Structure 1
Amino acid sequence: MSLQHHRVALEQLVIRNGAQALLGPLDLSVAPGECVGLVGESGSGKSLTALTLLGLLPSNLQAQGRLTLAGQPLDLFSTAHRELRGRVLAWIPQDPLASLHPLRTVGSQLLEILQVHEGQADRRRALQLLERVQLPDPPQALRKVPHQFSGGQRQRIAIAMALAARPKILIADEPTSALDARIARDILDLLDTLRREDGLGMLLISHDLPLVGQYAQRVVVLQKGHVVEQGDTRAVFANPQQDYTRELLAADQLPPLAAPLDDAPVVLQASGLRVQYPGATQPVLHDVGLELRRGEGLALVGESGSGKSTLGRALLKLLPGQTFGAVRFEGRDLLQMSSAELRRERRQLGIVFQDPYASLNPRMRVRDLIAEPLRIHQPKAPVDATVSELLVSVGLDPAMASRYSHQFSGGQRQRIAIARALATDPAVLICDEAVSALDAHHRAGILELLSRLKSERGLALLFITHDLAAAAAVAERIAVMERGHLVEVGATADVLRSPQHPHTQALLAARPDHAA
């Protein structure tokens, strides 16, 4: 049978929630051997399209349209449609850690898939799959559980599981959103190799337009459930016809670079900082020193596992391991403070985490989420007035205070998390990959917000990221980490235009252009 006999297409797909139209009408096809990019901001309908293809649309939504395989129609969500899963259509998730069973070995999970689809739990085939996705030491990997792997390695395991039933089409749903540039490129290179060698088709769902431009032959641009532009990727990216497409492309460009604030007073200073976890033979941070000035943005960049998040938490004394050296906040060493002293100082130190879905309590209203730090550190503060002011400052309507976090988009949730971090009017704000899970449009909005708040409030901002474009948007200086060492520190313009260290040069080289 020709590979074209496995072309999968959705025709005139419309998805509704009661009377509300969420998506469509949408025409989309993917054939083995081609990569189709599906791009758009959060809420545009990308994931609804993937769920419909897989026959996994939530039961409260209604879908109309045609699904065809090799030109032959199949009833949506019928038995014949469900039977496409695994053998024709396979899914690669955004977050493999969430989709893998945390208490079962990789081997048991992979062998279970082989048992279901091939009738036998063939260990030799399991090893071949892990070898195919270039996972180090496959025999040992089969015996490990998911948390023992890095993010990039877990994504390779997810790809191996998707390949287990020998599918013809892979649906890759934001497969690199939480990965740094080099590892993201490694994963997409792997998928592209599979596409070319095995004739696999791929629907690449992503908000990372440079990556889509690098790997997809065709692109479909969604906005609020409607297709606004589609065609050959190179042609669309080189000459976009719609304002929305131009806006998405512009959001991924390096912005104008700001000059360092050399005369501003130092607020936070680390010297000789070393961190070693209990039982570890080597430190995870080696003799790190840096300083952060009032009103300044310092971007801390590096690959996954380089020590960026460890350094951010060490500065706030939030680590379970042993921390050596000194961290001086306005001249006072945080590492030498008692618990009571540190508690008083922490109101001056705010933090925003990567995933607002996880960092915001789903059972608390927005008013209570933002007010919680006030009640802890400033119990006499006027809560309602302060919450309203904070919501306005992050670009949200104060009337939203009565809602729960699940009623907001990802970008709005991150604004709520920022408002909460600002509740006690801190002098230092640490943002740990605060925009990595957001699409280009929402990412640009959060970066603009952080830049404005930094300027208006005189915040000293430590911005931890693997996104160099995001670093350039908010930081006057960049510090580059590799394996627990600071290998380069300098003005953003100097580091990006003339990197001195080989690792910095490699990070810049890994950032793809828009060209296909």
Structure 2
Amino acid sequence: MSALALHGLQVHAGDRRLLGPVDLALPAGECLGLVGESGSGKSLTIAALLGLLPPGLRARGELALDGRRIALGSPSHHALRGRVLAWVPQDPQSALHPLRTVGAQLEESLRQLRGLDRVGARREALSLFDRLQLPDPPRLLDRHPHRLSGGQRQRVLLALALAGNPRVLLADEPTSALDPRLAAEALALFDTLREQLGVSVLLVSHDLPLVARHAGLLAILRRGDVVEQGTSADIFSAPGHDYTRQLLAADRLPALVPQAPGPRLVRFDAVQVRYPGQPAPAVAGISLDLHRGECLALVGESGSGKSSLGRALLRLLRNGVGGRIHFDGEDLLAAGRVRLRALRRRIGVVFQDPYASLDPRMRVRDLVAEPLRIHGLDPAGGRPAKVASLLQDVGLDAALADRYPHQLSGGQRQRVAIARALATDPELLVCDEAVSALDAQHRAGVLALLSRLKRERGLAVLFITHDWPAARSLADRCAMLADGRLEAVGATVQVLGGSLAAD
């Protein structure tokens, strides 16, 4: 029996169809995986189900629930939100109010959705935190989101979703920002909730192999159309559509092409990072070398210290950094403001989320040219010619220069971020989880691009990641971090093993 069925969902912007028609059935206590690349319509489906489409978009279709037919957009549909249909957003850092404790946010939802008084809401909040295996619930409820780990914030979002005793959880890329261990734990928790509470889960993701380990049913979306539906076992054993076969093939990354490294460019010498109020250092005495033309991967779970080490290198931490970081023989940590500016010109940075790191008010041409303006550089042929050359170098059409970030796909945005990082012809490229937010096809494309740029430009690349297959595909050497300490360093094949299968 279906807990919920969706019939004939279509989403239009004016006369243009963006999605559908989509028909989905969510059996009680089961997990349906909705899979597709960026722009396929996955998140649009979630927004339509919740009645939260952006202005200018309209949905039509209906839901079947307990023998009733409910038109999308009707008052009866909106009444389902929070009580029958509950949303688990992708990014807990953005979804949680930064100035309120997580307990205050959860208790407010419990009072609103269940009509509980303050004492009852507090009691139920403690029970939800305990059910979701959050440590020391009384203490954790009184913390603000920034004082929780990424995995804990994700569980808080799940507690908020469960506040109204829903029958269906709509999970939109719930593991995209988590390392493999936390992602596996989060999905195992969804499995437990399905078993214990009988809730259904619509699991939206671009990671087909990961979803298939937890979803008994799959629906494959491509450009707004469902191209294939069935059981996970059937689709994996005999995919019926070319696009499904492409998704499966995209997860198999190319093998690393070995390259002899050049002279040493970066030296971490007993580097320490300590944050205010924390009992233990985030980074504890790490020493590492990075050579020209080499990619060094920093791998480890969330909280291992890898991003803190990268921030120390970029001088993004004002206090609490000890030791020395030599860049081409010069101590970055001792450099004054004027000298630091000159050194930063030789370092490019690619952050995790291009949608957050690219100014939404600027066109692509201005975003890519921004480092040239900041450093007062006027390349031969002028800045427009340099921008066009950079876009071409990262595999983008120069015609995209007039677009804004929201008009690009996730993979295109990340390529724009790489083009911007290359604008000053850097010698070092720092990539902080640069492919973790991308679907399998865009991830493979960006990794191939980084490999080519490293080879052609002789770049040194510091690749910060929790994605082991990506590290094996790109990195010559690997440094494994745990609890701020260096656990192992050496050839990637020795530290991580040689298989490129998904971990």
Pairwise same-fold verdict (TM > 0.5)? yes
Look up the match of 2:47: 51
* 8 Å Cα contact 1:10-1:26 kept in structure 2: yes
Look up the match of 1:251: 250
Report the CA distance shift for 1:254/1:368 in structure 2 as closer, same or farther (over 3 A). Answer: closer
* 8 Å Cα contact 2:38-2:439 kept in structure 1: yes
Look up the match of 1:505: none
SS at match of 1:67: strand
Report the CA distance shift for 1:379/1:258 in structure 2 as closer, same or farther (over 3 A). Answer: closer
Look up the match of 1:111: 107
Structure 1 residue 219: deviation in Å? 0.4
Structure 1 residue 340: deviation in Å? 1.5
SS at match of 2:5: strand
| Distance of 1:279 and 1:135 partners within structure 2 | 22
| Distance of 2:265 and 2:243 partners within structure 1 | 40
| 2:221 is equivalent to residue 222 of structure 1 | yes
Matched AA of 1:26: V
Structure 1 residue 99: deviation in Å? 1.4
Q: 15, 22, 32: which is aligned to 1:19? A: 15
Look up the match of 2:345: 347
| Distance of 1:398 and 1:355 partners within structure 2 | 22
Matched AA of 2:41: G
Matched AA of 1:492: T
* 8 Å Cα contact 1:257-1:493 kept in structure 2: no
User: Where do 1:5-404 residues align within 5 Å?
Assistant: 7-121=3-117, 122=120, 123-259=122-258, 261=260, 263-381=261-379, 382-404=382-404
* 8 Å Cα contact 1:257-1:492 kept in structure 2: no
Measured against aligned partners, the alpha-carbon deviations of 1:429-461 in whole angstroms (never above 9, x if no partner) come to 000011111111111111111111111111111
| Distance of 1:58 and 1:336 partners within structure 2 | 48
SS at match of 2:310: helix
Report the CA distance shift for 1:495/1:31 in structure 2 as closer, same or farther (over 3 A). Answer: same
* 8 Å Cα contact 1:362-1:405 kept in structure 2: yes
| Distance of 2:458 and 2:193 partners within structure 1 | 50
Matched AA of 1:410: G
* 8 Å Cα contact 1:23-1:226 kept in structure 2: yes
| Distance of 1:42 and 1:28 partners within structure 2 | 20
Matched AA of 2:393: S
Which moved further from structure 2: 210-219 or 405-414? 405-414
Measured against aligned partners, the alpha-carbon deviations of 1:166-198 in whole angstroms (never above 9, x if no partner) come to 111111010010000001111111111000111
SS at match of 1:162: helix
Root-mean-square deviation (CA), in Å? 1.8
| Distance of 2:424 and 2:498 partners within structure 1 | 39
* 8 Å Cα contact 1:258-1:475 kept in structure 2: no
Which moved further from structure 2: 60-69 or 211-220? 60-69
Look up the match of 2:464: 464
SS at match of 2:159: helix
* 8 Å Cα contact 2:282-2:303 kept in structure 1: no
Structure 1 residue 71: deviation in Å? 3.8
Q: How many residues align?
A: 498
Structure 1 residue 45: deviation in Å? 0.7
TM-score (norm 1): 0.93
* 8 Å Cα contact 1:260-1:491 kept in structure 2: no
Look up the match of 2:495: 495
Structure 2 unaligned spans of 5+? none
SS at match of 1:215: coil
Structure 1 residue 378: deviation in Å? 4.0
Measured against aligned partners, the alpha-carbon deviations of 1:96-116 in whole angstroms (never above 9, x if no partner) come to 221111111122211111111
Which moved further from structure 2: 296-305 or 268-277? 268-277
Structure 1 residue 239: deviation in Å? 2.4
Q: Report the identity percentage.
A: 58
| Distance of 2:421 and 2:135 partners within structure 1 | 40
Which moved further from structure 2: 138-147 or 488-497? 488-497
Structure 1 residue 349: deviation in Å? 0.7
| Distance of 2:130 and 2:268 partners within structure 1 | 43
* 8 Å Cα contact 1:296-1:454 kept in structure 2: yes
Measured against aligned partners, the alpha-carbon deviations of 1:446-487 in whole angstroms (never above 9, x if no partner) come to 111111111111111111111112112211121111011111
| Distance of 1:470 and 1:36 partners within structure 2 | 27
Structure 1 residue 241: deviation in Å? 2.2
Structure 1 residue 403: deviation in Å? 2.2
